[in-house]
Amino acid sequence: MGKIILTGDRPTGKLHVGHYVGSLRRRVELQNSGEYEKIFIMIADAQALTDNADNPEKVRQNVIEVALDYLACGLDPAKSTLLIQSQIPQLCELSFYYMNLVTVSRLQRNPTVKAEIQMRNFEASIPVGFFCYPISQAADITAFKATTVPVGEDQMPMIEQTKEIVHKFNSVYGETLVDPKILLPEQEACLRLPGIDGKAKMSKSLGNCIYLSEEPEDIKKKVMSMYTDPDHIRVQDPGKIEGNTVFTYLDAFSCPEHFERYLPEYANLDELKDHYRRGGLGDVKVKRFLNEVLQETLEPIRNRRKEFQKDIPYVYDVLKEGSRQAREVAEQTLQEVRDAMKINYFDDLDLIREQAEKYQA
């Protein structure tokens, strides 16, 4: 059997450069590698509603924003199936059966859920749906028989939870579900790109993101305001690379060709870092270079996005057709699950005959 990818995002905001280096760039490469039999990219609106139940309009608006960002980055509907989670009701039924295979205490131990509960001040009143979203994510992954789930490291506990459900299901009901593997980003800098303020994670609420749809002047403004080494005050001072956001971004985005084009005095990033460490290299020069690199990277994405923005009905058609195909695949898996769980009463002729014979004698 061929390899199958499933991954996705919650539609709670436009996608930013953290999403790009953490996942989108890789997805497009995987899509174009020809190594995968099928690729499913899910806009996880139902999961977004687990902690935005009172704000459905936000989720609704961002479904199209995320779809535009996907297409802008080069996800191609002819090669990847783009779908909206809520349009696949089979996922709910799978989740309901998987709930029997997971304990409350196991969910409470999930580090990602724990962190999110803290972040949202849910402590005393956790919505049940939110609490169970790792189970619903296991349904997302298994419904499409995904072998490979490309996600950031923060999703590791979700994949572990999924694997546990798969093992449990298969051992109780017989070999049915596919055991997925996580595929982490390749570069360390990409595991988690910090916000422009140097804070751990880019997030809309912190206002520290650079969006994929950002206009050139705004990209420049944000780059020039980036957090660097606070002790690097005069140009001649030695500077630190670790925790220096500008260098973290260069790790994630720059390549030797960028140096040739915009900063030919240096052959590569290592030379630039060495100079910064020694002293004598100012932040502004490094920021100007990063600005060039980001402008070059984001321009084609922004331009493609603008083209798709001119034909919004087409984008909804793509999602509708992708969701239709996804339903077919999920329905097939659900049939197999029902068979394995012996809740296929009307399709099982043996069952009907057996029961009839029992009462004949």
Residue 348 CB, nearest approach to ligand TRP (Å): 32
Residues 315-334 that bind ligand TRP (CB under 6 A): none
Is residue 69 a contact point for ligand TRP (CB under 6 A)? no
Residue 67 CB, nearest approach to ligand TRP (Å): 15
Per-residue mark of binding to ligand TRP, 141-170 (x: CB under 6 A):
x-------x-x---x---------------
* Residue where the block lists tokens 């140096």: 259
Distance CA 231, CA 283 (A): 12
Residues 43-62 that bind ligand TRP (CB under 6 A): 44, 47
Enumerate residues 6+ apart whose C-beta is below 8 A from 192: 18, 22, 152, 153, 154, 200, 201
Stretch that binds ligand TRP, among 4-12, 73-81, 195-203, 234-242 (CB under 6 A): 4-12
Contacts 24+ apart (CB under 8 A), 127-133: 127/50, 127/51, 127/53, 129/49, 129/50, 129/53, 130/50, 130/51, 131/107, 132/50, 132/95, 132/99, 132/107, 133/47, 133/50
Query: Residue 133 or residue 289: which is nearer to ligand TRP going by CB?
Result: 133
Is residue 245 a contact point for ligand TRP (CB under 6 A)? no
Distance CA 21, CA 226 (A): 18
Query: Residue 10 or residue 220: which is nearer to ligand TRP going by CB?
Result: 10
Distance CA 14, CA 43 (A): 12
Within 10 A of 343 (CB to CB), how many other CB atoms are there? 10
Residue 138 CB, nearest approach to ligand TRP (Å): 9
Within 10 A of 183 (CB to CB), how many other CB atoms are there? 17
* Residue where the block lists tokens 């995987």: 30
Residue 99 CB, nearest approach to ligand TRP (Å): 16
Residue 158 CB, nearest approach to ligand TRP (Å): 6
Per-residue mark of binding to ligand TRP, 109-148 (x: CB under 6 A):
----------------------------x--xx-------
Is residue 17 a contact point for ligand TRP (CB under 6 A)? no
Is residue 6 a contact point for ligand TRP (CB under 6 A)? yes
Distance CA 10, CA 66 (A): 9
Q: At CA 319, angle to CA 314 and CA 321, rounded to 5? A: 90
Residue 139 CB, nearest approach to ligand TRP (Å): 9
Query: Residue 148 or residue 248: which is nearer to ligand TRP going by CB?
Result: 148
Structure tokens at 57: 């309009």
- What number of chain residues touch ligand TRP (CB under 6 A)? 14
Is residue 67 a contact point for ligand TRP (CB under 6 A)? no
Is residue 241 a contact point for ligand TRP (CB under 6 A)? no
Q: Where are the alpha helices (DSSP H) in 192-244?
A: 216-224
Residue 229 CB, nearest approach to ligand TRP (Å): 31
Is residue 10 a contact point for ligand TRP (CB under 6 A)? yes
Query: Residue 47 or residue 80: which is nearer to ligand TRP going by CB?
Result: 47
Q: Which helix H or strand E contains 3, and what residues bound it?
A: strand 3-9
Structure tokens at 190: 């990409």
Residue 308 CB, nearest approach to ligand TRP (Å): 22
Give the strand pairing for 36-43 and 3-9: parallel
Is residue 38 a contact point for ligand TRP (CB under 6 A)? no
145 φψ region: left (φ > 0), alpha (ψ -120 to 50), beta (else): left
Residue 252 CB, nearest approach to ligand TRP (Å): 18
Is residue 8 a contact point for ligand TRP (CB under 6 A)? yes
Query: Residue 15 or residue 241: which is nearer to ligand TRP going by CB?
Result: 15
Site residues (vs ligand TRP, CB under 6 A): 6-10, 42, 44, 47, 137, 140-141, 149, 151, 155
